[in-house]
A and B are shown apart, each in its own frame.
Chain A
Amino acid sequence: MHKIDYSSAPLLTVEGLKQYFRISRTFTVKAVDDVSFKIWPGETYGLVGESGSGKSTIGRSVIRLYDPTAGKIVFNGMDISGKMSHSTEGNLRVQMQMIFQDPMASLNPRKTIGDIIGEGLDIHHTYKTRAEREEAIKNILLKVGLSPEHATRYPHQFSGGQRQRVGIARALIMNPKLIIADECISALDVSIQAQVINLMKDIQDETGTAYLFIAHDLSMVKYISDRIGVLHLGHLLETGTTEEIFSHPVHPYTKSLLSAIPEPNPIVEKKRVAESYDYKTSGIHYEDGTSHLVEGTHYVKCTDEEFKKWV
């Protein structure tokens, strides 16, 4: 299995990232509020948290689909947080790829699957002959469990899970250094989820690519991630190795999240009540928290008093 060299320079450094959306004069959504984390080459960083907590927004800000409201993003030694030079942007578009959450919305309905997957190759001229291009597309289709015949079909002619594999193929074909995988397996059934996760691990072993793995399914996140970040209401509340988070969760939100994982055991599951967590009545104010070291690489965002109480 792959080893990560944590003494080397990180591949991605995100510092104090803020991404606000102004909806109207009186309503601004603070989708991401002062978030910092790092990802090392070949590492898988899992980002988990409630729906609407800002996971996709972080992914989209990092790959610069948005202009960050504040904060610094350094990728592969390049500062990509402000206005980028032509070559920096070109580099970013090849070295960082994203697999989107909503497969239908991210695939052009008028293009064949082959052309969707080959688009990156076309833009960045990464092949010499037509045959080489077709071969690359064919190989990647097989790799994600589709068949070469699918290349001539259109997105609407696929099932939900098949479409998602097209999105994965499109990202993989570029051989990027970092793949932002936004809920890339949640539309897949368990067996294919497992296939895709195994595939992602193989590709990581083969190419040393890193993943920012955004997901809500904690059992899969646990399985694939080296480290995990827990996000709620735009704040990164807790981060650490998978072992640290799963064995010693500190933040009450993390605890409630872990307690809600449904188990595939009908009699147990029908009786179970998950720990509830309500921010409004919790007495916790995320803005007041600062990063506290629990141990090793395990940090929690809270006040000094909360830290004393929880740890």
Chain B
Amino acid sequence: MSDSNDKILEIRDLDITFKTTAGPVHAIRGINVDLKRGETVAIVGESGSGKSVTMRAAMGILAKNAVVNRGSIIFRYHHQDGSEAEVDILSKDKKWIRSHINGKRMAMVFQDPMTSLDPTMQIGRQIMEDMIWHYKTPKEEARKRAIELLTEVGIEEPEKRMKEYPHQLSGGMRQRVVIAIALACNPDLLICDEPTTALDVTIQAKIIELIRRIQKERGISVIYITHDLGVVAKVADYVNVMYAGRIVEKGTINEIYYDPRHPYTWGLLSAMPDLDTNDERLYTIPGSPPNLLHEKAGDAFAPRNKFALEIDDKADPPMFQISTTHFAATWLLDPRAPKVEMPAELRAKILRMKHEAGLDDTPAPEERATGIATDADVREEGSAAGAVTAADGKASGNTSGEVSEGVKADSAAETKAADSAKSGEGGSADTGNSGAAGAAENEEGESHA
């Protein structure tokens, strides 16, 4: 296998708008994604945050009304003779991508299996099709391989099933057929969009195991788009958290689960139902996702973020670096921001998780992380400017005079974040986990949106 620095996919500053009758929908707003050979990256985030659109762009199959405003999607692969190749998917036309990349080197398992299966064609033929088309595999050999693949994805009596049409299969079976199609040509990069949402836990485990085995054997890279944080915990090396067309936090799986920094990630982790709790209501992130038709200045998550600072209404936060692998786009990480802790319930939940994982002796997250604002920094105006520019490139553009004002600790604590920020300092931030509070906040969030 190639050396560990070898990036198979590099998405840079991807920015996409959809034209609709109601106006432009700015769905993807400057995204960077990196994937190394043999690794697994998970993309998580709210419905509508742009996960599928990002990956459809990587596959070169964006909808007709999509306009790519900026960016590049570099894909590196090997020709059959072993020589290396590098393409920017965005510079190639659909036909070229279809014959050289799609299904062959990069395969995608779609979220909605019915949309990628041909309802008029037996599933056996659908699995064989790409092998015959890309590699001119003899029919009998392709048939054998198709039966093998169906067996591998856990479909019983595969010979008989080969002759069935998609509507004759259960939802989860269809999804597994799509997985079989994706694996048929031994791709280098497998993109799984919600590959296991329709699958029960036992088959889910089987599919995950299968993908992992193939990954070990052939060193392929996998991108997992999923809502299921349990699945992410099982499969991912790295996690990208998306919100409203941006990546708001990225890090190793352990950084995201045991040391989350973005309030949206806090919300996601808080919303996971806990098998051991018997709460009457589940925690939900208040409000609804922003309407991308009406873009507004500042951090898109601000209206739903009880920890939002004044500056969040004015400028989108840059990516702040927490460790060599961990980044988050929240002004809370700016050294001038007031110190805000994650909600107490989540803190307790993470402590429980760490305890179960045998991580009890690890130092508290604050001490372990590098480059993060400490209590002292927050109050010290002097170090502020340096820290903001230390974050990635975009930061400098945002730190205009007016903007820097807003980050100041004093102004922030008095405004929106007043209550939570203060109680946060006291170490007992309220999550709004109780039914009544959650509902009330919901209302409030909606009026913002």
Contact = CB atoms under 8 A, between A and B. Distances in A.
B170 A52 contact: yes
Contact of B48 (A49, A162, A220, A272): A162
A237 to B, nearest CB: 13
Nearest to A164: B47
A161 B47 contact: yes
B266 to A, nearest CB: 11
Given A147-B291, A149-B22, A266-B257, A194 B203 contact: no
Contacts of B197: 183, 186-187
Given A51-B172, A52-B170, A197 B282 contact: yes
Contacts of B236: 266
Contact of B171 (A102, A190, A257, A260): A102
Q: How large is the interface on B (under 10, 10 to 19, 20 to 34, 35 or more residues)?
A: 35 or more
Contacts of B291: 147, 149
The range of chain A's interface size is 35 or more
B282 A198 contact: yes
A188 B168 CA distance: 25
B268 interface: yes
B60 interface: no
Contacts of B171: 51, 56, 101-102, 183
Interface stretch (A77-85, A121-129, A151-159, A284-292): A151-159
A193 interface: yes
Contacts of A156: 63
Contacts of B168: 21, 23
Interface in A253-285: 256-257, 260-270, 272, 274, 277
Interface in B195-245: 197-205, 227-234, 236
Contact of B160 (A27, A142, A159, A266): A27
B47 A220 contact: no
Interface string B259-275: 00000000111011111
B22 A152 contact: yes
A273 to B, nearest CB: 9
Contacts of A256: 202
Interface in B151-202: 157, 160, 163-164, 168-176, 194, 197-202
A98 B352 CA distance: 39
A187 B280 contact: no
B144 to A, nearest CB: 20
Given A216-B198, A267-B358, A189 B45 contact: yes
A23 B174 CA distance: 16
A172 B379 CA distance: 52
Interface in B283-297: 283-285, 288, 291, 293
A218 B170 contact: no
Contacts of A157: 18, 20
A190 B170 CA distance: 24
Contacts of B173: 51-52
B430 to A, nearest CB: 18
B296 to A, nearest CB: 15
B112 A194 contact: no
Contact of A23 (B164, B176, B280): B164
Given A160-B111, A160-B112, A260-B202, 20 more contacts: A50-B202, A51-B171, A51-B172, A103-B112, A104-B114, A159-B52, A160-B47, A190-B227, A192-B47, A193-B227, A194-B271, A198-B281, A217-B228, A262-B228, A262-B233, A265-B353, A266-B236, A267-B254, A267-B357, A272-B234
26 contacts: A50-B202, A51-B172, A51-B176, A147-B449, A149-B293, A152-B21, A160-B111, A160-B112, A161-B227, A162-B47, A183-B198, A187-B112, A189-B45, A190-B272, A193-B227, A198-B438, A216-B199, A216-B204, A256-B202, A261-B201, A261-B275, A262-B205, A264-B232, A266-B254, A266-B357, A269-B230
